């Protein structure tokens, strides 16, 4: 199964993600500033069978990294798609990602923070 809404290149959107963080949880200012070190740095390109992930670790708490992994669409509806793919932090473990579409954006709920991360289509 393929979902053409995924196809293309998406960039993590720091502004929208920080806005979501304010809406979903009460973060102190010091922690809110640390979001700049993590979000807005991941670029993801979906083809029909693969995800190309590139994380820019400059000025971040994580190292720069690139990966290419296979994924599979396991379900979809009008607003979202569920995919099965290797984890971002552990590529040996398969995870289900539920991706929600909102216009030129999509968002996912990562494992670590208590708020969604937004991505904007760039290609």
- Within a domain: residue 2? no
pTM of the model: 0.83
Look at residue 101 and tell me whether its pLDDT is greater than 70.
yes
Compute φ and ψ for 76, nearest 5 degrees: -155, 155
- Within a domain: residue 3? no
CATH code for position 56? 2.40.128
Q: What is the pLDDT of residues 47-94, one digit of tens each?
A: 999 999 998 767 666 777 888 999 999 999 999 999 999 877 677 889
With beta carbons less than 8 A apart as the criterion, state whether 87 and 94 touch: yes
How many domains does the chain divide into? Answer: 1
Mean pLDDT of 29-52: 83
113 pLDDT tier (thresholds 50, 70, 90): low
- Model pLDDT, residue 60: 62
Q: Which pair of structure tokens corresponds to residue 111? A: 């494992």
* Cα–Cα distance measured from residue 110 to residue 117, given in angstroms and rounded to the nearest whole number: 7
């Amino acid at each position: 199964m393929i979902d053409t809404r995924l196809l293309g290149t998406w960039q993590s959107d720091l502004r929208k993600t920080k806005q979501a963080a304010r809406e979903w949880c009460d973060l102190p200012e010091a922690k809110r500033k640390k979001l700049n070190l993590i979000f807005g740095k991941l670029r993801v390109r979906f083809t029909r069978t693969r995800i190309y992930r590139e994380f820019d670790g400059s000025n971040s708490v994580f190292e720069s990294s690139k990966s290419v992994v296979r994924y599979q669409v396991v379900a979809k509806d009008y607003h979202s798609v569920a995919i099965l793919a290797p984890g971002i932090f552990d590529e040996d473990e398969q995870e289900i990602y539920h991706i929600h579409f909102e216009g030129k954006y999509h968002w996912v709920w990562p494992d670590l923070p208590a708020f969604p991360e937004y991505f904007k289509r760039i290609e």
